[in-house]
Every structure is written in structure tokens, then in C-alpha cells.
Amino acid sequence: MGAVAIYPGSFDPPTLGHVSLVERGLAVFDRIIVAVAKNPLKGALFSVDERVELLRESLAERFPDGRIEIDRFEGLTVDYARRKGAAAILRGLRATSDFEFEFRMAMMNRHLEKDIHSVFLMADHRWFFISSSTVKEAASLGADVSDLVPEPVARRLRSKYPPEPREG
Ligand code: ADP
């Protein structure tokens, strides 16, 4: 059995930054379990079911060889990782903004479960400044974000927020 990582996150919605991270993760791990965290404290645009479905539609075509699993979980990430037999928690780092938060979370996870390692990768530089929240905000104001998200996500965003003609 090869090394398995879980890649936990909100994925509200999945972006090409997330896809890039999975692609790079597969160069390091044999299998990646992309897991939508159910976090009632975060007001989400898409339900957990919708996010799981969007991840399936977005990742299955690109990575068809059974090395990707899409799942959901509640509770502590380290408990979920242990249940899944994962050796690592995969997270992404963007230009400067993520470090402090990710560092604190990795420290806590290590305190809780020293045998599960946090592994950080960077997405391709094209996605350094892309986040689900900026994508959501721009789409909600009528912007076309189709070059920042997988096609199934672009479709869902268009149906939620019909694009508006821009002035100028
Ligand atoms: P969370 O609410 O857990 O941060 P996100 O869906 O926002 O969930 O992000 C999940 C993980 O993916 C985080 O580690 C985040 O840093 C990483 N990530 C998100 N977007 C990008 C990106 N454009 N480039 C690199 N990593 C990213």
C-alpha cells in the first residue's frame, strides 16, 4: 500500500488552485482523499452535497485512474485522517497570506496526533492569488470567473449569478 494523504478544505467552491494542488499532490502521494469539511461556523454558498458533487465532476475527468477519492467529514481533521489510514494532511500555500494560519493549524494537529504529518505544496503560480472567497465575491457581482474555476463550477456559478454586461 502506498502513501495516502487527505486534502481537507471548504472547497466552497472548488477552484483551479485546488485542482492544481491535487495534481501536484499526486506527484508525491499514491492516493489523495479530497475531503469537504462540514463547518457550521462558516456560512457557505454551496451545501456540502453540492461541493462533493462539484469536486467529483471537476476532478474525475482529469484524474480518472482511481487515485482520487472525494469524501466529506465532520469533527477533527486528525481523527478523520487516522480513520482513513492517511499518513499526511495536504494543504496549500499561497503567496504570503496562508502561512500564519496554516502554521498554527499544523502545530495543533501535530500536538493532537504526532504520527500524521502536515505537508504543504504550492499550486501553480497562475493560481497564487485565487481563493474561493474572491471567486464567489466576483461571481456574485456578475463577473465572469470561468478561467479561474473548473467548468462544472463555472456553470453552477453562472446559474446562481447570471453574468451581467460590464460597462466600458
Ligand atoms: P479552508 O477553509 O480549509 O481553508 P479552502 O477550500 O479555502 O478551505 O482551502 C483548502 C486548502 O487549499 C487550503 O490549504 C488552502 O490554502 C488551499 N488552497 C486554496 N486555494 C489555493 C490556491 N489558489 N493555491 C494554493 N492552495 C490553495
| pLDDT score, position 39 | 84
Q: How far away, in angstroms, is 166 Cα from ligand 1 center?
A: 29
| HEC per residue, the chain | CCCEEEEEECCCCCCHHHHHHHHHHCCCCCEEEEEEECCCCCCCCCCHHHHHHHHHHHHHCCCCCCCEEEEEECCCHHHHHHHCCCCEEEEEECCCCCHHHHHHHHHHHHHHCCCCEEEEEECCHHHCCCCHHHHHHHHHCCCCCCCCCCHHHHHHHHHHCCCCCCCC
42 part of the active site:
yes
94 part of the active site:
yes
Q: Tens of pLDDT along the chain (168 residues)?
A: 579 999 999 999 999 999 999 999 999 999 999 999 998 777 899 999 999 999 999 998 888 788 999 999 999 999 999 999 999 999 999 977 789 999 999 999 999 999 999 999 999 999 999 999 999 999 999 999 999 999 999 999 999 998 777 776
Q: How far away, in angstroms, is 114 Cα from ligand 1 center?
A: 23
Going from the N-terminus, what domains does the chain have, and what CATH number goes with each? Answer: 4-129 (3.40.50.620)
| pLDDT score, position 60 | 86
Residues with Cβ within 6 A of ligand 1? 9-11, 15, 17-18, 21, 91-92, 94, 98, 123, 127, 130-132
18 part of the active site:
yes
| pLDDT score, position 167 | 73
**What pTM did the predictor assign?**
0.94
Atom of ligand 1 nearest to the CA of 133: 7
Reported as a single tens digit per residue, the pLDDT across 89-115 is: 999 999 777 899 999 999 999 999 999
